[in-house]
Amino acid sequence: MNIILIDPEEVSATNTVTLHDRRLGHIRKVLRSNTGDTVRIGLVNGMIGTGVIDELSRDRAILHIKADTPPPAKKPIDLILALPRPIMLKRILAQAASFGVARIFLINANRVEKSFFNATLLAPDNLTDCLRQGLEQGVDTILPELSVHPRFRPFVEDLLPPIAASCHIRLVAHPDTDLHLDQAAPQMAGKRSLLAIGPEGGWVDFEIERFREQGLIPFTLGPRILRMDTAVPALLAQIDLLGRLPAQP
């Protein structure tokens, strides 16, 4: 936890906040702070700042806060994910939020276990908690936009077109192609990217064709098949690097 996130409704009229939960435990046991110390705080979907500890005990911490610094800008990357099993989804959402992904779309696919859509993790509060943990790691306050789509065709035919249209680079990870990332998107500098990553069994041909129709280019990571929670941070890092390289003449 590199920043203590505070919901705006927790802040009193005198700019103080009282913490009783795991944030208190972090202040006491990890930061080992004392009364009068300053900690880094952020308002969810708002500014970053500092909190001075006015009172600290086993039961509560009272902070007087000031938040006037903008959070870091989001990365120009949107992420489409075939819904993974819940334990993996928790890690992936935290990783994506920590990295600064702007939008995340969790979708169905032929090789997604249908029972995954009944997982308690998909309750909005639980999804938000995973994202908040990523923000705490990445020192950010702005939650990514997150939506869940249990039906593939309505998503790809009705919702994906305007999403794809807003992105200059459109990519879908797929092992059955010889095209590598730098070949699929050789000119990424300063451009918004859309990345689709499928289940560990891969997308089926029907799904790849629907993505192609929306301008997504299939590319491969090479001969090794990666777990989704490995592929996501690896690809986000590669896309971020390629996007910051100077445009080739």
Within 13 A of 116's CA, how many CA atoms are on the CB side?
Answer: 23
Indicate if 154 and 99 belong to the same structural domain.
yes
% the chain with pLDDT above 90: 82
What is the pTM (predicted TM-score) of this model? 0.93
23 and 65 part of one domain: yes
Residue 89, C-beta contacts closer than 8 angstroms, at least 6 positions apart: 83, 106, 119, 121, 130
Query: What is the DSSP-derived secondary structure letter of residue 117?
Result: G
pLDDT tens-digit readout, 108-145: 999 999 999 999 999 999 999 999 999 999 999 999 99
CA distance 81 to 235: 12
Quote the mean pLDDT of the chain: 93
Whether 141 and 47 have beta carbons less than 8 Å apart is answered as yes
Report the interhelical angle of 228-244 vs 86-99 (nearest 10°).
20
Q: What is the pLDDT, as a whole number, of residue 226? A: 86
How many domains does the chain fold into?
2
Comparison of pLDDT for 10 and 190, the residue scoring more:
10
Q: In this structure, are 63 and 81 located in the same domain?
A: no
Q: Rounded to an integer, what distance in angstroms lies between the CA atom of residue 233 and that of residue 226?
A: 11
Residue 175's pLDDT is: 83
Q: Which residue has the higher pLDDT, 223 or 29?
A: 29
Both 11 and 126 in one domain: the answer is no
Q: Is 222 left (phi over 0), alpha (psi -120 to 50) or beta?
A: left
Banded model confidence at residue 181, pLDDT cuts 50, 70, 90: confident
Check if the beta carbon of residue 20 is closer than 8 Å to that of residue 60: yes
The more confident residue out of 48 and 175 is 48
Read off the CATH number of the domain in which 182 is found: 3.40.1280.10
Residue whose entry in the numeric block shows the structure tokens 């500092």: 50
Q: Are residues 45 and 146 in the same domain?
A: no
Domain around 21: 4-69
pLDDT higher than 90, residue 248: no
Domain identity same for 82 and 62: no
Same domain, 62 and 135: no
Is the pLDDT at 186 greater than 80? The verdict is: no
Residue 126 neighbours by CB distance under 10 Å: 15
Same-domain pairing of 62 and 114: no
pLDDT band with cut points at 50, 70 and 90 for residue 249: low
Higher pLDDT, 189 or 216: 216
State the Cα–Cα distance between residues 116 and 175, nearest whole angstrom.
23
Q: In the chain, what is the straight-line distance between the N-terminal and C-terminal CA atoms, in Å? A: 42
Give the model confidence (pLDDT) of 9-20 as tens digits: 999 999 999 999
Phi, then psi, of 59 in degrees rounded to 5: -100, -25
User: In what side-by-side order are the strands of the sheet with 38-43?
Assistant: 4-6, 38-43, 48-56, 61-69, 16-19
Query: 239 or 104, which is more confident?
Result: 104
Mean pLDDT of 42-67: 97
Amino acid, single-letter form, for residue 247? A
List Cβ neighbours of 29 (8 Å cut-off, separation of 6 or more): none
pLDDT digits (tens, 9 = 90+) for 59-75: 999 999 999 999 999 99
**117, 224: one domain:** yes
Residues 65 and 82 in one domain: no
Answer yes or no: do 81 and 58 share one domain. Answer: no
Pair 44, 8: CB distance under 8 Å: yes
CA distances from 238 to 21, 51, 141 (A): 37, 36, 24
Residue 116's pLDDT is what? Answer: 95
Tell me, yes or no, whether 249 lies in a domain: no
